[in-house]
Amino acid sequence: MVKTTAPTSEGPDLERTFTTITRERIFEKIVDQIVDLIRRNKYRPGDAIPSQRELAQVLKVSRTAVREAMTVLEKAGLLEVRAGARTIVRRSPGPDQEPLDFAGLMSKADLAQLLELRTMLEGEVAAAAADKATDEELVRVAEAVEAMERAVAAGRLDTDEDYTFHVQVTLACHNPIIFKFWNALSDLISREILHCRLQSLARGQTGLAATEHREVFAALRARDAEGARRAMRRHLMNVKARYGV
């Protein structure tokens, strides 16, 4: 059992360093605290921060909320999450007066270009998947949609579930070269999904992507290639329209 009531050699007294989270959008409040602590040099570049379990305990929040905060901070380049090791501070966010826009993970130009590419590619991928997907692959696509819907209902970011949905549709088109191309873009796509989801939270527009993914799956399940193509393109074009790119 980790004790957090007294200072240790690993870092500051966590109970005195962090403030219990009590407001909505919990992951954002965790992000704010960690950014503030880094700015005040409580944690410096190269320092390990407390584990997700320790943070959940001292902040009195769920591990899910902590994990979402770590995802945002990692994508923003402030933290480095190392498999099997402690998460470390990668860089400082800058002076106190400098606002940090965590929704600005991508430039508007990059976002527009990536979504243009995805619209061109993934409409055809969905059409091919409608023709080629096995029943087992359709089950996995359905599970990804259901996981998105559960995340939205629970008030959580559904970024991982969104990414998984598109991976499963791409796998179901049975073209290994296309999947290799998807993997080459995986980091950009992950950042784009997180960027857009944070923008949606700020605008109170949660759940729209999950509904659009459900429409894509309905066409896949019906083996309607043209319907799947239209639904996927419509989804990605809606994303572009929602964020003005």
Output the pLDDT for position 7. Answer: 42
- Domain final residue, candidates 62, 89, 116: 89
Local structure of residue 98 (DSSP, 8 states):
S
CATH of residue 157 = 1.20.120.530
With a cut of 60, say whether residue 1 has pLDDT above it: no
Buried b (16+ CB within 10 A) or exposed e, 36-75: ebbbeebbeeebebbebebbbbbbebeebbbbbbbbbbeb
Task: Assess whether 121 and 30 both reside in one domain.
Answer: no
In a domain? residue 95: no
Query: What is the distance of C-alpha 170 from the center of its chain?
Result: 19
Same domain, yes or no: 161 and 56: no
What's residue 4's pLDDT? Answer: 40
For the chain, give the percent of residues with pLDDT over 70. Answer: 86
Same domain? For 72 and 155 the reply is no
pLDDT for residue 15: 67
Q: Are residues 50 and 140 in the same domain?
A: no
Please give the Cα distance from 66 to 54 (Å, whole number): 10
Quick one: 72 and 113 in the same domain? no
Q: Is the pLDDT of residue 63 over 90?
A: no
State whether 71 and 113 are in the same domain: no
Do 79 and 133 belong to one domain?
no
Statement to judge: residues 130 and 236 lie in one domain:
yes
Residues 126-143 have a mean pLDDT of 98
Coil, helix or strand at residue 36: helix
Beta bridge partners of 79: 89
Same domain, 148 and 34: no
> Per the structure block, which two tokens stand in for 241?
């329209």
The model's pLDDT over 73-105, given as tens digits with 9 standing for 90+, comes to 887 788 998 777 789 999 887 666 555 556 556
Q: Say whether both 72 and 112 belong to one domain.
A: no
Question: Range of 117's domain?
Answer: 108-242
Which of 58, 89, 120 represents a domain boundary (last residue)? 89
pLDDT tens digit string along 161-219? 999 999 999 999 999 999 999 999 988 898 888 888 877 776 778 899 999 999 999 99
Q: Given a cut of 70, is residue 8 above it in pLDDT?
A: no
pLDDT at residue 96 in the model: 60
Is 94 inside any structural domain?
A: no
The number of domains in the chain is: 2
